[in-house]
Structure 1
Amino acid sequence: MQTLFRRLLRLMPHVGVQVTDLGPGAAVVSRRGGPYEVTDVDAGTKVLSRRGGPYRVTGVDKDTWVLRRTRGGARTAVAEQGVVPLGDTGAVLLIEDPEHQDERRIQLSAAEYLCVQHVTAMLELYGVNCVFDVGANTGQYAKRLRKAGYTGRIVSFEPTSETFARLAKAAENDPDWQVHQCGLGREETTAEIHKSWLTMNSLLPPSDYGKGRYSRFKKSDTEEIRIRRLDEVMDEALAGLADPVPYLKMDTQGYDLEVFAGAGKRVADFVGMQSEVACLRLYEGSPTMSEAVAAYEAEGFGITGMYPVTREATTGRVIEFDCVMMRATSAPEGAA
C-alpha cells in the first residue's frame, strides 16, 4: 500500500515542483532546476547531483570515495590513474591530468608534505613546546608547522633585512611566534652574507657545482649581518616556559654545522633536530652529508626520517635531504 508520503511526492510535479526520490523516507524537492541524478555509493549512501553538472564520484576502495569537479562540467569519468591509494591507510593522492604532470615535482612535493607531518608527530610524541627555526627566510617552515597542528612556541632567526621584514610581517598576528634578526654560528661576530639568491642566501660562496646548477649564483649582493651563538640566545628564547622542551631546525645553506657548534654544551637540551644535509655540495666549505650526520649522531641524535629536498633532473641524484633526528633517551616512557 502506498504511503501518504509517496502520494504527496507523486503530486508535486503537477504543481511545478521537481522531486528526486532518494529511497524510503527521503527525497529532494526543488522549485527550480533539475532534473537530478542519484549515484549509489553503497547500500546506505547516495550522492545527489544535478544531471550534467560538474561533480562526479569515484570509488577508491570499499570504504573510500572521491568527489571531484570535472573540467567544464563535462560528463566524463574520473581517470582511474588520477586517484592513487596510499597503501591500506584509506588516504588517497589526487593527481589532476596525471599524464601531463612532472613526476619529479610530485615526488618532491610529497616528500615536503611527509616531512612536515613526520616532524609534527615527533614534536607531539616528545612533548616539544619550543621550535628554534634557524634560517627562517620568510617563515615558510613555521607556517607549515602551524598548518599541520603545532601550537607551541616558534623562535625564528633570519639575518638579512629585507627578508626579515617579510618574516616579521608573517609572524605579527601569532603571539607565540618570536622573530630575531640575526644569524647563528660558532662565535659572536659580524659577517658578509650573500643575498639576492631567493631562498638560498648563504654565508658561504657557491661551489663550482652550485654555479653550474643555479644561474642565480653567478651574481649576488652582500649584506653585513650580526651572528650570535645559539647557547647565548636560548635563555631569552625559552623565557616563560616552565618546562622547556626545545627542538632545533636548521636550514642555513651549508652553515648548519656552524650553527650546531654554537649550541655548545646546551645542545644536550634539545630533544630533536632537523638539518638540511648535502649529498652534492652547493657551497664551498660546506660539510658532506656523512660529516654532518656523524657530528649530530656524536651528540646523541638518531635519524628518524630522510626526505629529498632537491634532485638532479638529468640523473635523479638527490642533492640535499631534510634529515630529521631525535634523541631516543628523551622519548617519553612507554612510547613504542
Structure 2
Amino acid sequence: MLGDIAYSLISAGYKMPKSVKAKIERFFYQSYIAELLKKLRINCVLDVGANIGTYAQNLRKLGYKGHILCFEPHPEIFPTLQKNFKHDPLWRGYNLGLGNEDALAAFHFNTYSELSSFLVPEASMPKTVNSCEVKIKPLDSLLDEILTLVPEPRIFLKMDTQGYDTEVVKGASKCMDKVLCLQSEIAVRSYYMNMPSYLDALRYYETLGFELVDLFAASRNPEGCVVEYDCLMVRSEIN
C-alpha cells in the first residue's frame, strides 16, 4: 500500500523537500547505530573529533549508557565540550588530537569549527581563520588509561577528523584488536590537501580485518550529490 502511494507521488512529479529527506536519512542512520551498539555489546565509545560533544549527546538519547571518551584538539571548543559532559560520570574528554605519533602539530581553525583540521584545506573550503600548535598522541599511548576505566573494553571507534581518520587508526596498532567496529568519515570529494580518497580509506580498513556494513551520507553538495560518507565497519569475524 505505502509502496503504491510512493510510486504515485513520484510519477506525479512530487519531490520530497530536502529538509524532510535529511531527517529521514538521519533517522535510519541513528537507528542503525543504536542497533549496532546493542548487537556488539559496546561498552566504550571513542569519539575522535568530538567538537562540542553532539555525537556523544545523541548516543545518550539513543539509550547508550556505557563509557564515552571524547578527543577534541580545538582549544576554543573544548571548554564547551567540558560543560556538556561534566554531569555525566561515564563521559570524559581530552583536549588533544589522535594521530600516528606523539608530537605537536599545526591545527587549522575554520570559520565553522567542525571543519577545522590538521590538514590544509583546499581553496574551495570556507576560510581558515587561524592556526596553532596542539598536542597529538597515538591511541596506543592511552590504552592503559582506557583499560583502567573499562577493564574489558568492547570499543566502538568513531572518527570525524576532517581527513585525518586513517592517521588515527595508524596510531592504534596495539589496541585495534579491541575495536569491534568503527565509523569513519570518508571523502568522495576531498576538501583538504593529502586527504585519502574514500576507496583508499576503505581498502586500508579492510586490511585491518574490518568489513563494510553500511554507508550513510554525511554531506552533500547543492546538487544533492554525496561529498562525504560515514562508513560503518565491523570486524569480519563477528559480522
TM-score (norm 1): 0.64
Question: What corresponds to 2:83 in structure 1?
Answer: 169
Per-residue CA distance 1:189-228 (angstroms, 9 max, x = gap) = 00111113321110111124xx1xx4x22x4211211000
C-alpha distance in 1, partners of 2:46/2:74? 18
Report the residue type matching 1:236 in the other structure.
Answer: E
* Alignment coverage as a number of residue pairs: 228
C-alpha distance in 1, partners of 2:158/2:92? 15
Name which of 308, 317, 329 aligns with 2:217: 308
Question: What corresponds to 1:203 in structure 2?
Answer: 118
Report the residue type matching 2:132 in the other structure.
Answer: E
Aligned CA distance change for structure 1 residues 268 and 197 (closer, same or farther; 3 Å) = farther
1:166-245 correspondence to structure 2 within 5 Å: 166-198=80-112, 199-208=114-123, 211=124, 214=125, 216-217=126-127, 219-245=128-154
1:323 correspondence with 2:237: no
Per-residue CA distance 1:104-153 (angstroms, 9 max, x = gap) = x3333332332222112111111110000000000011011110111100
**Identity of paired residues, percent?**
35
Aligned CA distance change for structure 1 residues 221 and 152 (closer, same or farther; 3 Å) = same
Question: What corresponds to 1:14 in structure 2?
Answer: none
| Kept after mapping to 2: 8 A contact 1:112/1:309 | no
Q: What is the Cα deviation at residue 321 of structure 1?
A: 0.3
Say which is worse superposed, 117-126 or 269-278, in terms of deviation: 117-126
Question: Higher relative CO (CA 8 A, sep ≥ 6), structure 1 or 2?
Answer: 2
Question: What corresponds to 1:33 in structure 2?
Answer: none
Q: What are the ranges of 5 or more consecutive residues in structure 1 without an aligned counterpart? A: 1-60, 62-84, 88-98, 332-336
CA RMSD of aligned residues (A): 1.9
Q: What is the Cα deviation at residue 100 of structure 1?
A: 10
Say which is worse superposed, 240-249 or 124-133, in terms of deviation: 240-249
1:1-336 correspondence to structure 2 within 5 Å: 102-103=17-18, 105-198=19-112, 199-208=114-123, 211=124, 214=125, 216-217=126-127, 219-314=128-223, 316-330=224-238
Report the residue type matching 1:242 in the other structure.
Answer: P
Q: What is the Cα deviation at residue 305 of structure 1?
A: 1.4
Rg larger in 1 or in 2?
1
| Kept after mapping to 2: 8 A contact 1:139/1:170 | yes
| Kept after mapping to 2: 8 A contact 1:160/1:223 | no
Say which is worse superposed, 112-121 or 170-179, in terms of deviation: 112-121
Report the residue type matching 1:148 in the other structure.
Answer: L
Q: What are the ranges of 5 or more consecutive residues in structure 2 without an aligned counterpart? A: 4-13
Report the residue type matching 1:157 in the other structure.
Answer: F
C-alpha distance in 2, partners of 1:294/1:160? 29
Report the residue type matching 1:121 in the other structure.
Answer: E
Q: What is the Cα deviation at residue 179 of structure 1?
A: 0.4
C-alpha distance in 2, partners of 1:306/1:101? 21
Aligned CA distance change for structure 1 residues 151 and 258 (closer, same or farther; 3 Å) = same
Per-residue CA distance 1:244-282 (angstroms, 9 max, x = gap) = 111100000000011110001321210000000000001
| Kept after mapping to 2: 8 A contact 1:108/1:308 | no
Report the residue type matching 2:78 in the other structure.
Answer: F
C-alpha distance in 2, partners of 1:242/1:234? 11
Q: What is the Cα deviation at residue 304 of structure 1?
A: 1.4
Per-residue CA distance 1:35-81 (angstroms, 9 max, x = gap) = xxxxxxxxxxxxxxxxxxxxxxxxxx9xxxxxxxxxxxxxxxxxxxx
Q: What is the Cα deviation at residue 160 of structure 1?
A: 1.3
Report the residue type matching 1:190 in the other structure.
Answer: L
| Kept after mapping to 2: 8 A contact 1:131/1:246 | yes
Report the residue type matching 1:320 in the other structure.
Answer: E
C-alpha distance in 1, partners of 2:115/2:27? 20
- Give 3-state SS (helix, strand or coil) of 2:76's partner: helix
